[in-house]
Homo-oligomer: A and B are copies of this chain.
Amino acid sequence: MYLASDNTSGVPEQVLAALTAANDGFALGYGADALMDRVRDKIRALFEAPEAAVYLVATGTAANSLAIASYIQPWQTVYCHRHAHIEEDECCAPEFYAGGAKLTLLDGPDAKIDADQLEQGLASAPGGVHHVQKGLLSLTNITERGARYSVAEVTRLCAIAKAHGLPVHLDGARFSNAIVAEGCSPAEMTWKAGVDVVSFGGTKNGLMGVEAVVFFDPAKAWEFELRRKRGGHLFSKHRYLSAQMDAYLTDDLWRDLAITANARAAALEAGLREAGARLVHPRGGNILFAEFPLKAHEALRKAGAVYYDWPAPPPEGAGPDHPHQCRLVASWSTTEAHVADFVEILKGAL
């Protein structure tokens, strides 16, 4: 019952097999491997974007920071949600890569940016030389609170940004989970909606550590390559990134993995509801935030369940009936049995 994070899971056998296959013989380094050509083609096809510039990096923080820095100047600001990963969980990496830029924090339920607040913020931002300049809009889908922007919502937010001349970045660490839940195509969620650059996440959905950064306008390609190198994120033995991403894109593996993760989360949600737990945020994909009495948490932990208290541990001296919140993340490797066991223990404790 390991529900701490989707990045605590392993990788499916196809990924291991791909690494083994890629290991044969010699290969040119630094992205000049033949596998990368195949990956590039597949991603362009998947996103229906034949001109897209496609790059691989190994971490989500690198993907976000490098993509954002490619679009903004150091005296500009990134509009993002107060609970965006780039604000809360990257230790100033975006500011570092963008040379000292700022993040302007927006509100909205479930870590989804309130469109009116964005509109108002952009409209009222002073333009003069004393003030930070408007730079870019950054969205996250699935959000950090597990919710999902619909295609229509992404489209609306992009339209607001575009009306003010801002490019749009999409943090897609859980892009696959969003796509399969929304039932749309990658193109519909990205460039057709107005997104300029997306990180197509692999790490949280079954790879060891690979994220694709996809620029729909290749104008930023060379700058990104220099930024990636300068950040130490260009792999000499690049084939091992390519191989993982190639496996991910073969026979829609990415999709199958996300479908499984979402299905496990859905089953868990149903069980939580049956047990009387409160769902704190609407489920957009594979993440749940739930509240139930402390005694049930204790029973679950005792039985080996691993997950995070969220946003904080229970207060000192809280009694067994204290309603306590947690985060539960399903992954491609969460089994039906994991979910069933969890729900059974939960029900038993309540």
Contacts and interface: CB of A to CB of B under 8 A. Distances in A.
A345 interface: no
Q: How many copies does the complex hold?
A: 4
B11 A26 contact: no
Contact of A10 (B24, B204, B229): B24
A21 to B, nearest CB: 11
Interface in A57-86: 57-63, 65-66, 73-75
Interface size class of A (residues with CB under 8 A): 35 or more
A8 B28 CA distance: 6
Interface stretch (A96-104, A140-148, A314-322): A96-104
A118 to B, nearest CB: 17
A237 interface: yes
Nearest to A96: B100
A110 interface: no
A234 B236 CA distance: 18
A75 B59 contact: no
B100 A92 contact: yes
Interface string A113-125: 0000000000010
Nearest to A312: B124
Given A26-B306, A209-B236, A95 B91 contact: no
